[in-house]
Amino acid sequence: MKQYNWPQMILEPVGLVKSPLKIPTLKVTKDNLELKPSMEELKKEQRKLEQTLSEIFIFEAWEPLLKGIEAFSHILVLYWPHLIDPEKRKLTQVHPMGRMEIPIQGIYATCSPARPNPVLVSAVQLIRREKNSLIVKGFEAVDQSPIIDIKPYSAHYMQKEDLKFPEWMQNINKELGI
């Protein structure tokens, strides 16, 4: 494999999540992802999550970076799923959402939190800013998750036309009412 001379990559949290969510919805097992609740329970959790308020606490040193963020209705939050065992990050393929009837997919073809570099992203509604805290709605990160970055949600950059999804993902979205 070719060696690259990139500078060392270092990620440092800029803040953390204060959330009522204490455990992830999906449990990562040795060989796969396992759905803890039934699909019906997952739908209920999804509806509850959509209404859940969380606080994104930004460390004081980074507060100046928030200037102007309150003008946006939605933001993208990049965070680290800190409760995933580093051993589980070696998974390369899974049945999406632990659903054995869905053919195995490569990790990069799924939204699995078990990834070589588990940087997750969520688009959330920004309710308000309080100094160095952002109150958001619908954030799926569990309590104490490290925040890596925040970006304003921009339809110009984010929304694309003619999106295509595999049938298995369309079916899951339909089951979840998305």
Place of tokens 């799926």: 140
Assigned domain for 10 exists: no
Coil, strand or helix at 170: helix
| CATH number (domain holding residue 66) | 2.40.30.70
Assigned domain for 157 exists: no
Residue numbers of the domain that contains 69? 15-152
Q: State how many domains the chain has.
A: 1
The Cβ of residue 69 has, within 10 Å, a number of other Cβ atoms equal to 15
pLDDT in tens, the chain (178 residues): 578 888 888 899 999 999 998 887 655 454 455 554 566 776 777 777 788 999 999 999 999 999 999 999 999 999 999 988 888 888 899 888 778 888 999 999 998 888 899 899 999 999 999 999 999 999 999 999 999 999 999 887 777 788 888 999 998 888 877 7
By the 8 A CB rule, do 43 and 107 touch? no
Torsion of Cα atoms, 124 then 128 then 130 then 133, to 10°: 0
